[in-house]
Amino acid sequence: WNILGVATLAGAAVLAILIPMNVVISNIVRKLHLKQLKHKDERVKSISEVLSGIKVLKMYAWEDSFKKSILNIRDKELSLLRTAALLNASTSFLSLCSSFLVSLASFCVFVLIDERNVLTPEIAFVAMAFFNIMRNPLYYLPTIVEFNIQFFVATKRISNFLNADELDFTSVSHDTSRKEPLVIEDGTFSWGRDKDDKPILRNITLNIQPGQLVAVVGPIGAGKSSLLSAFLGETVKNSGFVNT
């Protein structure tokens, strides 16, 4: 202010424009990062299912269909990563240009507001020295914002995991006096306790006798693994009786 006077406000105005732009871009990147993580979880889950059931896939020759499904998810993930990378590059570019834009705006206003103002080397170099002091904080601002975004996303995911509903192990009884080792009577199960969580298994009644060979057959997503999870108590029992 002592060197450029009112012209300093022009540089401050440029900063006032650049900083909100970085904040807006950072919010967009955060949302993209959340979507990308959802696609990543979906892709990892699909790959795990493929690896666990590779024999069935080879037997029915389902390799190409599952490959296309996984690559489709991967393409969505890469699209979000590319968009986020471009936005991060734009914030870095704005930060690199910020000191130049602040200097340009301040010097132009300094010369234009008064004909008596002369931009001498003494004024220019001293002002640029102050602007260069601001360069490093502005340069590292996008990196700090990016790390904060990743920290926020990771914290939110960890918080959701830690605050998830505990498994109710009392939903499965262990009565050894019963002859049947595995019993489900009129059981209805879901993956969560919220109203939006629809039942994955309804009205299941199953009595398995000792030494009995039982095969559960059905297409993908029919609920075969969910039935095993119900026996293990890993699902929410909405109604019915389970004994193992």
Q: What span, in angstroms and rounded, lies between the C-alpha atoms of 50 and 12? A: 56
Q: What span, in angstroms and rounded, lies between the C-alpha atoms of 119 and 107? A: 7
Taking residues 205-231, what's their average pLDDT? 85
Which letter does DSSP use for residue 175 in this model? -
Taking residues 58-87, what's their average pLDDT? 88
pLDDT band at 138 (very low <50, low <70, confident <90, very high): low
Query: Is residue 229's pLDDT more than 70?
Result: yes
Q: Assign domain 5-162 one CATH number from 3.40.50.360, 3.30.470.10, 1.20.1560.10, 2.102.10.10.
A: 1.20.1560.10
pLDDT at position 33: 84
pLDDT tens per residue, range 9-46: 777 777 777 777 877 887 888 888 888 888 888 888 88
pLDDT band at 139 (very low <50, low <70, confident <90, very high): low
Query: Is residue 238's pLDDT more than 70?
Result: yes
Q: Are 188 and 224 a contacting pair, CB within 8 Å?
A: no
Per the prediction, the chain carries an average pLDDT of 81
Helices 63-112 and 135-162, axial angle in degrees (round to 10): 140
Domain ranges of the chain: 5-162, 169-243
Share of the chain above pLDDT 70, in %: 91
Closest CA to 98 of 11, 10, 25: 11
> Which residue type does 149 have?
I
Share of the chain above pLDDT 90, in %: 3
Q: What are phi and psi of 175, to 5 degrees?
A: -90, 105
pTM metric for this prediction: 0.52
Structure tokens belonging to residue 38: 């959802």
Query: Is residue 117's pLDDT more than 70?
Result: no
Structure tokens belonging to residue 220: 């993908």
What sign results for the dihedral spanned by CA atoms 199, 200, 205, 206?
negative
Closest CA to 4 of 112, 149, 139, 97: 112
Q: What span, in angstroms and rounded, lies between the C-alpha atoms of 226 and 127? A: 69
pLDDT band at 1 (very low <50, low <70, confident <90, very high): low
Query: Is residue 154's pLDDT more than 80?
Result: yes
Structure tokens belonging to residue 93: 């570019």
